[in-house]
A = this chain, B = another copy of it.
Amino acid sequence: MSGQPGPTPIVIADPRQMRDLILTARRAGRRIGFVPTMGALHAGHASLVEQAAAECDDVVVSIFVNPKQFGPREDLARYPRTLAADLALVGAKGAGWVFVPEASTAYPAGHATSVVVAAPAADFEGAVRPGHFAGVATVVCWLFNVVPADVAYFGAKDWQQTVVVRRMVADLAIPIAIEVCPTIREPDGLAMSSRNAYLSPEERRRAVALHEGLVAATERWQAGDDVAAVEETIRASLQSRDIPIDYARVVDPDTLLAPRPGAAAVALVAGRVGTTRLLDNALLPPRS
């Protein structure tokens, strides 16, 4: 991340004002990039803003801790809120506008509508976190109407989320391009995540098992091992660090079903390090 202070972005809470600003800029021929976030921004988000700034004339970042994508026993209340630092970060990376809606505008009185994506949302995070992806899809659909940008940027770290969002955009003909950007990692390989802040020093050391498992799995994949053996490689890495496994699977990157012979695949892993759930994944190249 740049150490230089950037210009302070304009903070907007009103959806209508946000939409009007975007439409005015687009009518003037400007290309708009959008980075939806829940705040607690880290270098992963910073890379999305940088990518958007490199490709677009104006960049909007939304910061909204969406209550509907948290389950009743999840970490909504303690999810980190770091607005001042977030504004400084995205301003330094080139975002001109930050959209910070109130929950009451995203969910007006009598709100009753959900966007539900069936197949690609059913397994993995969808199975562990019932209702999570309906919460994600609903708020992202709302955000795409309020922030009608040319292109939206998502991190590959939440791979299933990118599949669900792309499926929704295709199915509802939402007029926005989706760009998925590489996972940003700590020096030891741990994927950047706002939830890494929950880890104790001892948990933080063990957490690298997800990345190490994926690296080993990628080697086994390229050596020609079958899917079950590649998955077992990931599981062994988590087990060696006493991390309970939610899933460790190799699937098709677009459908999250069984991988097609010879095609690229994605290895998805989720585990529990103490009370903190961590996710990671690795794209596995096509092999003959």
Contact residues of A with B, CB < 8 Å?
Answer: 15, 19, 27, 107-108, 110-121, 137-138, 141-142, 145-146, 148, 167-168, 170-175, 255
Nearest 5 interchain pairs by C-beta: A113-B171, A145-B173, A112-B118, A112-B119, A114-B116
Task: Give A127 Cβ to nearest chain B Cβ, in Å.
Answer: 15
- Cβ of A142 and Cβ of B171 under 8 Å apart? yes
What residues of chain B lie closer than 8 Å to A171, measured between beta carbons? 107-108, 111-113, 142
Task: Give A176 Cβ to nearest chain B Cβ, in Å.
Answer: 10
18 CB-based A-B contacts, threshold 8 Å: A19-B175, A107-B171, A110-B167, A110-B255, A112-B117, A112-B118, A112-B121, A113-B116, A113-B118, A113-B137, A113-B168, A114-B116, A115-B115, A116-B116, A142-B171, A145-B172, A145-B175, A146-B173
Task: Give A108 Cβ to nearest chain B Cβ, in Å.
Answer: 6
- Cβ of B145 and Cβ of A115 under 8 Å apart? no
For residue A111, which residue of chain B has the nearest CB?
A: B171
Task: Give A215 Cβ to nearest chain B Cβ, in Å.
Answer: 31
Bound form: Cα–Cα A283–B175 in Å: 37
- Cβ of A172 and Cβ of B110 under 8 Å apart? no
Bound form: Cα–Cα A138–B115 in Å: 9
For residue A175, which residue of chain B has the nearest CB?
A: B145
- Cβ of A112 and Cβ of B120 under 8 Å apart? yes
What residues of chain B lie closer than 8 Å to A19, measured between beta carbons? 173, 175
A110-B255, A167-B110 as given contacts; A115 in contact with B172, CB under 8 Å: yes
- Cβ of B172 and Cβ of A141 under 8 Å apart? yes
Bound form: Cα–Cα A168–B107 in Å: 11
- Cβ of A118 and Cβ of B114 under 8 Å apart? yes
What residues of chain B lie closer than 8 Å to A142, measured between beta carbons? 171-173
The CB with the most chain B CB atoms within 10 A, among A112, A146, A175, is that of A112
Extra 18 A-B pairs, beta carbons < 8 Å, given A110-B255, A112-B121: A19-B173, A107-B171, A108-B171, A111-B171, A112-B171, A113-B115, A113-B117, A113-B118, A113-B171, A114-B115, A114-B116, A114-B118, A115-B116, A116-B116, A138-B172, A141-B172, A145-B175, A148-B175
Bound form: Cα–Cα A110–B164 in Å: 12
What residues of chain B lie closer than 8 Å to A112, measured between beta carbons? 117-121, 167, 171
